[in-house]
């Protein structure tokens, strides 16, 4: 049962929306157009923008977030534009939402709630629907206002009701039960996902990560010939897709496309989507795709790195892919990014520019994890010979009686898998 189906208060689809953004010292605006990203989010959610309001403050007003004068201005804008929902680009406390709704007599949602709503409309698989529903419930639990009657099927259990209990207390307990149920179901999803990823541990795995709408799906299509959905919309991909990428003169890798990140991505979403992001957590190499044509490319890079740190992926080998270079009028901007991030390559996924250089860079980084070894094995040991034929790049063989000496490149993490008693392994210089 999806929260999005039952809690209409969460959806902003086709509503008339008034946008608000507050700049704080701890959260500065990006560029000269502070509402640019919020407009993209609201448009993706399906609302119609009818007005905008911004304010710079040194600190927030505890009760209403914005100052009294701005609250009065907001009330006037709501009346003038006939707005149905006020959407903040900041995260608000439950008390601030209630105060603003009381003052404006209009529904108020914050940035996290907006992103959760978008994820709910984008979820396609049973797994992503579970993840989004859990994130929504955990976000909404402290904001309950007697709107959870659809959970009444949990009523009636022994000990569920006590004398004098209020409806709100009961609702909170019902939501708590639902959260526990979803977490238990997602544990099974996580275990299954880890098992699936572990089964590919001997493969060369590369994962695409990046800011939402950076062009990851388009790049996957260009590299693998796949036909995955690639829309010019925020969060068009929620479910991980994996395809084979054949690197000429080297072999194949498994390339995975993951959910896009964004600045201030709600913590509940990151926690809920850890199963989906398992591909990135276990990948041998990350391709961090950046929209090089964005004036906020550097800020978006830092936002992605922040999420990777939360996933404990920030120390993983990473290659920065500066995408959409065909849209960059001033190439010096690319040079600045390359100077700040030496381990990078510039491409145009849509136009095909730089894809050969990207392939070469990926091979070089994957090879850095290879050992140059001499392996001596009995000619009768078909198990080891078959294993090397499947996983090693053998460049020389010598036959000495019933023994074979093989000079080859082999992924370091696979060397320890060769434990046969009649095998000797010696690492060579490259």
Q: What is the pLDDT of residues 120-149, one digit of tens each?
A: 887 777 887 888 888 888 888 887 764 444
Q: What is the pLDDT of residue 154?
A: 42
What pLDDT digit, counting tens, does each position of 355-369 carry? 999 999 998 888 777
Closest-CA residue to 366 (of 281, 276, 252) = 252
Same domain, 234 and 91: no
How far is residue 4's CA from residue 229's CA, in Å, rounded to a whole number? 23
Q: Which domain, by its residues, includes 77? A: 3-118
Q: State how far the Cα of 411 lies from the Cα of 409, in Å rounded to an integer.
A: 7
Question: Residue 371 pairs with which residues in a beta bridge?
Answer: 410
pLDDT for residue 261: 86
Whole-prediction pTM: 0.75
Directed axis angle between helix 68-81 and helix 94-104, to 10°?
50
Q: For 85-143, where are the alpha helices, taking DSSP H only? A: 94-104, 111-122, 126-140
d(CA 135, CA 269): 5
pLDDT of residue 155: 43
Structure tokens at 131: 């993840």
- Of the three residues 137, 165, 198, the one that is the final residue of a domain is 198
In the prediction, which pLDDT does 7 show? 40
pLDDT for the residue 127: 80
pLDDT tens per residue across span 379-414? 999 889 988 888 787 888 999 889 999 998 887 777
Q: Is 194 found in the same domain as 176?
A: yes
Final residue of a domain: which of 95, 118, 141?
118
Rg (CA), the chain: 26
Same domain assignment for residues 249 and 308: yes
3-class secondary-structure state, position 424: strand
Distance CA 184, CA 179 (A): 9
Whether residues 107 and 21 share a domain: the answer is yes
Measured distance between the N- and C-terminal CA atoms of the chain, rounded to whole angstroms:
57
Kindly give the parts of the chain with pLDDT less than 50: 1-9, 146-164
Cα 214 from Cα 350, distance rounded (Å): 12
* pLDDT at residue 33 in the model: 82
Q: Which of 325, 344, 367 is the last residue of a domain?
A: 367
Q: What is the pLDDT of residue 242?
A: 86
Segment 362-369 long-range contacts (CB within 8 Å, at least 24 positions apart) = 362/206, 362/247, 362/253, 362/285, 362/287, 362/319, 363/247, 363/250, 365/285, 365/317, 365/319, 366/204, 366/206, 366/253, 366/284, 366/285, 367/409, 368/317, 369/284, 369/317, 369/411, 369/412, 369/413
What is the pLDDT at residue 198?
67
Number of Cα atoms under 13 Å in the Cβ half of residue 194: 7
Q: Based on the fold, state whether residues 192 and 229 are members of the same structural domain.
A: no
- Residue pair 232/240 in contact by the 8 Å Cβ criterion: no
Q: How many domains does the chain have?
A: 4
Instruction: Give yes or no: residues 216 and 360 share one domain.
Output: yes
* Whether residues 166 and 285 fall in one domain: no
CATH number of residue 279's parent domain: 3.40.50.300
Asked whether residue 291 falls in the same domain as residue 260, the answer is yes
CATH, residue 388: 3.30.70.240
Same domain? 172 vs 213: no
Which pLDDT belongs to residue 161? 44
**75 — phi, psi (to 5°)?**
-60, -45
Q: Specify the CATH number for the domain of residue 69.
A: 3.40.50.11060
Beta bridge partners of 85: 17, 107
Query: Domain check: are 213 and 301 in the same one?
Result: yes
Residues 164 and 241 in one domain: no
For residue 392, the number of C-alpha atoms closer than 13 Å in the C-beta half-sphere is: 25
- Do 45 and 132 lie in one domain? The reply is no
CB 219 within 8 A of CB 268: no
């Amino acid at each position: 049962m999806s929260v999005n189906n039952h809690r209409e208060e969460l959806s902003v689809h086709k509503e008339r929306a008034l946008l608000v953004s507050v700049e704080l010292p701890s959260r500065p605006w990006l560029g000269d157009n502070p509402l640019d990203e919020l407009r993209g989010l609201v448009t993706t959610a399906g609302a119609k923008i009818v007005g905008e309001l911004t304010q710079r403050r040194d600190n927030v007003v505890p009760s209403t977030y914005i100052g009294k004068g701005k609250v009065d201005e907001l009330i006037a804008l709501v009346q003038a534009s006939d707005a149905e929902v006020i959407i903040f680009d900041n995260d608000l406390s439950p008390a601030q939402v209630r105060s603003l709704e009381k003052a404006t007599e209009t529904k108020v949602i914050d940035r996290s709630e907006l992103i959760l709503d978008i994820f709910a409309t984008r979820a396609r698989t049973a797994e992503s629907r579970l993840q989004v529903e859990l994130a929504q419930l955990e976000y909404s639990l402290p904001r309950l206002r007697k709107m959870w009657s659809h959970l009444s099927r949990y009523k009636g259990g022994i000990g569920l009701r006590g004398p004098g209990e209020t409806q709100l207390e009961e609702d909170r307990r019902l939501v708590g039960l639902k959260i526990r149920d979803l977490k238990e179901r997602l544990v099974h999803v996580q275990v299954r996902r880890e098992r699936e990823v572990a089964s590919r541990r001997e493969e060369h795995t590369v994962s695409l990560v990046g800011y939402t709408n950076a062009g990851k799906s388009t790049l996957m299509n260009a590299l693998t010939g796949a036909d995955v959905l690639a829309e010019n919309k925020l969060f068009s991909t929620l479910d991980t897709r994996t395809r084979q990428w054949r690197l000429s003169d080297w072999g194949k890798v498994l390339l995975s496309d993951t959910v896009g990140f964004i600045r201030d991505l709600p913590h509940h979403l990151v926690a809920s989507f850890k199963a989906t992001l398992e591909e990135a957590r276990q990948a041998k190499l990350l391709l961090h795709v950046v929209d090089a044509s964005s004036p906020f490319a550097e800020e978006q890079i830092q936002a992605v790195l922040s999420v990777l740190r939360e996933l404990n992926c920030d120390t993983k080998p990473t290659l920065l892919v500066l995408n959409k270079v065909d849209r960059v009028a001033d190439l010096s901007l690319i040079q600045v990014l390359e100077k700040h991030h030496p381990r990078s390559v510039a491409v145009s996924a849509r136009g095909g520019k730089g894809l050969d250089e990207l392939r070469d860079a990926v091979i070089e980084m994957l090879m850095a994890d290879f050992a140059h070894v001499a392996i001596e094995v009995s000619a009768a040991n078909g198990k080891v010979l078959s294993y090397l034929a499947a996983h090693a790049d053998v460049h020389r063989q010598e036959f000495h009686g019933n023994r074979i000496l093989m000079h080859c490149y082999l992924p370091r993490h696979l060397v320890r898998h060769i434990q046969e008693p009649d095998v000797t392994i010696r690492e060579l210089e490259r």
